[in-house]
Each structure stands twice: as C-alpha cells, then as structure tokens.
Structure 1
Amino acid sequence: MDARTEIDGRAPAVADLLVPALVNHGHLTVTQVRDRAVRGLDLHLARLDAANRELFGVPLDGDRVRRLVRHALAGDRDATVRVNAFRRDGGDTAVMVTVREPHEAPAAPRALRPVTYRRPFAHLKHTGSFAQLQHMALAQRDGFDDVLLTDPDGVVSETGIANLLVHDGETFVWPDAPALPGITMLLLERAGIGARRRTVHLADLPGCAAAFVTNSSGVSPVGRVGDTPIPRDPGIAEHLDAVYASIPWDAL
C-alpha cells in the first residue's frame, strides 16, 4: 500500500500543506483499521473533540471525522490511519487523514532507554514532538526500540510512543505521572484488567513480574530498560494478550 493523505476529503495541494508543515500546532490520533473497523472508535472521536476544544476552542464533529476516514480508506479494508487536526489561516479546523500499511505490535521484547524528559501538555496527543523524537532517534542508533521518559528523580511517566504497564506480582500498575491516556490503555481498563495507578520509579522495574508497552499497534513486552533485564512472566503476558484480544471492533 502506498501512503496517501487527504485534507477534508481531497488530495492536498501544496498550499493546503503550508500550515501543518510550518506551524507545529495541532493534535492527532492514530488507529489500526481491520476490515474497516477499529477498536475504541468512541474513544478516538472523544480524544479528537476534547483536544480540538482545548486547542482551538471549538468542537470537532465525530461524524465528520468518520466520513473523512472512510473516504480516505477508499477500497482498503486494513490500514494504519492517522487523523491530524489543525487550524487553517482562516480559523476553521482542517482534518488531515493519512492512510498507510497496517501495523501489528512487535512480539519481540522491547528495549527501552531511560531519558530525563516529560512531554509538555502530556495529556494531549499533540504535534509538538521534536524532543521525544530526537531522544528516540538517538536511542535507536544505539540499539534501543524506544525511550522511557522519567523526571529527574527517576519517576516513570510513559515511553516516547506508548504507555507503560507493569505487573508487580499481584496486579497491573500504570505509572501515576503526567502522560497521555492512550486509547489502548483506556480499552484495557474498560475490558477490566483492574490496574492501579501509583508512582513507579526506574529502580522498581527489575523487581516487577513483567512490563509491557501499549499503543495503537497493540501490546508488546518489555525485555530490558537500559542495561537492566526486566522479568517476563509468561502467564501474565498470556492473560494480558487474551484481554486485549477480547476488545471488540467498531465499524467505521
């Protein structure tokens, strides 16, 4: 599949791309489409609407977004879909939909490099992502898959592109720190994994029974953080995979 982009239902001209190219102010959501359905459609639409209200002071109609996604998919039934919203010079909200090859979460354990950084306005999935992308690029050059963001005291928040979920041997735990409430995170909560929220330090991770990263591609295990191996309990992983697989798909 060749990647393609539409803005408000049509192929963009150069002039249409000037604002998103030159003004780094907008928000987005990313989802996997299978058989023209997605997991957590209501959560994606709610995310876009809430962010649009916060950034631009106006709602973003969910039915409009669905129509534009369906149009951009054309005849494709499986894809990775990214929806960006930005404000045109005239003040109205433009919706840019990008369709790419479908992607599955890697099954191989992820290697995370700890870095001291927290995303500004961490509750938003926004386009201001230079610092995290640069940290990720530097980590990947050294053989890591992603970064694990912490504060100066080693309190964990999230990774560069995912939420972190750990199991302390008794229950699942989400780090209690500023982070994006990811759609997969919210779906797992809705499905009943019963995770708690509490402060997680880097020093806690080697003592966990397992750790995972969750994002729009799904769930992957964590194998190491820095040079430190992270335990992997196969029973916990199987349970989490089963919960994730039980999450229903919503027709677009």
Structure 2
Amino acid sequence: MVTLDGKPVSADDLLPLALTNVGHFTSMRVDADGNIRGLALHMERLVRDSKIVWGTSLDTGRVREYVRHGLEGQTRPCVVRVTIYDPKVEMGHPADADEPHIMVSVRGAGALPPEPLRAMSVTYERDLPEVKHVGLFGALHARRTAQLAGYGDALFVGRDGLVSEGGTWNVGFVDQDGNVVWPLAPVLPGVTVALLQQHAEHRVATVTLDQAKGMAAAFATNTSIGVRPLSAIDDTELPIEDPVLSQLQETYLSIPGETV
C-alpha cells in the first residue's frame, strides 16, 4: 500500500511526481522487531532536505505517524520509503510548489549482508549530491550501463578523477594498513555512513580510481544492504574476506534500532 498523508494515494496524486520528478526521500530498513537503525538521522535528513528543496519546515511527528500507519500489517523486515513532494508542482512554475506532502511506500527487504557486488566505474556526478532527491535518471542510467556490461552496479568517478559514491549507495575502503577510508568528494551524507563513523575509527581522504583498485578491500553501504563487500572494481578483483569488513558488518548489526 502507498499512502499520501496517511490516505491511499491516487493516480492523480502521483502524476505530478511522475511528470516533474521533483521531490526528496529517505529509505529506512525496518528490522523484524519493528525498529529502525538511525531513525533520528533519517528524520534529520528529511528536515534538512525539505529546507533545501522546498524552503519549508517538516513535522517529523507527522512523518512518524504516517510511517507507523504504512507499516501496519506489513511483513518484516522491510524497507519503508518516505517521499516528500508537492502534488501541485508544475514544470513551468516549480517555485509555486510550497506545500510538500508525505508519501509512504513499503517493500520487502533482503537478508543482511547481501552477496558481494561487482562495480564498474562510470564518469558521473549527481545533481545536488547533498540531497537525497528523486532525480535518479543519471544514476539509474549509469547502473543500467554497468549491468549491461556484466556488473552489478556503477561506481561514480567525477570529472576530477576522484571516486565519490555508487548508484544508490556510499562507498568505503579499507587501506593496506587496515584503516577505514571514506572518499572526500561531493556525496550524499549517508545515514549508514554516519552510524559507522560513530562506532568505528575512520578517515576521510580523496581517492582516485587507481587508489580504489589498490585498496585492501572496498564496500558499499546503505540502509537496505548494511555493509556489502565489493568483489571487483572494473576488472580488478578485490578480497571479500577481510577482518575489517567483518568487524564493520558486526558493528552495524549491533547498533540498536529506534522505535518509530
């Protein structure tokens, strides 16, 4: 079931979102116990992005109410997505849209962690990378390109030659000294990244594609996959059995969830 402000969504409600693709969202994994890791951080993201995209505040109490309603009767674990958009937005006058609404949708979730991922490097930079917005054409086109070439997803490399992030995930590395390294680049501030940074030593540094391929290990992170090893970047194979990777996976799973 998909709801808009707690009520079943209609085709007319969805049409403006489909035609204009203006809005922002967050996705949250709901574990079997009904709790969500990083729930407060997800709410902070929605508030922050609402100010950037719409210039308005957001009542997170209402968001949580609609999420609870959307989760009623759903099998868990699952992934709940909260999308913030204005059904009256028009392509010719997007500035007139200033009353964003709250859409909630739910889908199934896979086991943690998923199988290792093979990534192909693609030159791409997301628009407004600090916002988790619904403008996914470029990212999905890069993903499709990678999949048609036999890979699972795309790893973005900027025009400056620096690695940034993945199709819908952040990327991290383990260097040859066993240190966790996050790329210094314009990227989405990931909730899973923030949680791991709170519980594990790390550093942030620029990472070229050649440096990425020379790391001891690499991994993808987001709320749906947790910590997922990368088994290859382009034609360079990477180890998927690494003690730091195992520790990161255990650390993530040990972080307690929050009640909606």
How many equivalent pairs are there? 248
Alignment of 1:29-178 (within 5 A): 29-34=26-31, 35-76=33-74, 78=76, 79-89=78-88, 91-170=98-177, 171-178=179-186
Cα distance in 2 for partners of 1:186, 1:55 equals 22
Asked whether the equivalents of residues 85 and 100 of structure 2 are also in contact (C-alpha less than 8 Å), the reply is yes
CA distance in 2, matches of 1:120, 1:14: 28
For 1:30 and 1:250, the matched residues in 2 are separated by: 15
Q: Return the letter of the residue paired with 1:33.
A: V
Name whichever of 6-15 and 171-180 sits farther off: 6-15
Cα distance between partner residues in 1 of 2:246 and 2:147:
28
C-alpha displacement of 1:153: 3.9
Task: Give the secondary structure class of the aligned counterpart of 2:7.
Answer: coil
Which deviates the most, 60-69 or 205-214? Answer: 205-214
Task: Indicate whether 1:204 and 2:204 are aligned.
Answer: no
- Give me the TM-score of the superposition, normalised by structure 2: 0.91
Corresponding residue to 1:13 among 7, 10, 13: 10
Would the aligned equivalents of 1:116 and 1:149 in 2 still touch at CA under 8 Å? yes
Task: Calculate the TM-score normalised by the size of structure 1.
Answer: 0.94
CA distance in 2, matches of 1:48, 1:251: 17
Residue 175 of structure 2 contacts residue 216 of structure 2 at CA under 8 Å; is this kept in 1?
yes
CA deviation vs aligned residue, 1:33-62 (integer Å, no higher than 9, x gap): 122210001000000011001111111111
Moved more, 161-170 or 98-107: 98-107
Q: Is the 8 A contact 1:26 1:55 kept in 2?
A: yes
The secondary structure found in structure 2 opposite 1:204 is helix
- Point out 4+ residue stretches in structure 1 off by more than 3 angstroms: 104-107
- Counterpart CA distance in 2 for 1:122 and 1:110 is 23
Shift of 1:233: 4.6
- 1:9-35 Cα offsets, whole Å, 9 max, x none, are 111122211221112111000011122
Structure 2: state its 5+ residue gaps: 89-96
**Aligned partners of 2:157, 2:105: CA distance in 1, in Å?**
31
Using the TM superposition, give the Cα deviation of residue 234 of structure 1 relative to its aligned residue in structure 2, in angstroms.
Answer: 2.4
Gaps of 5+ in 1: none
RMSD: 1.4
User: In 2, are the aligned partners of 1:51 and 1:124 still within 8 Å (CA)?
Assistant: yes
**Secondary structure, in 3 states, of the residue corresponding to 1:152?**
coil
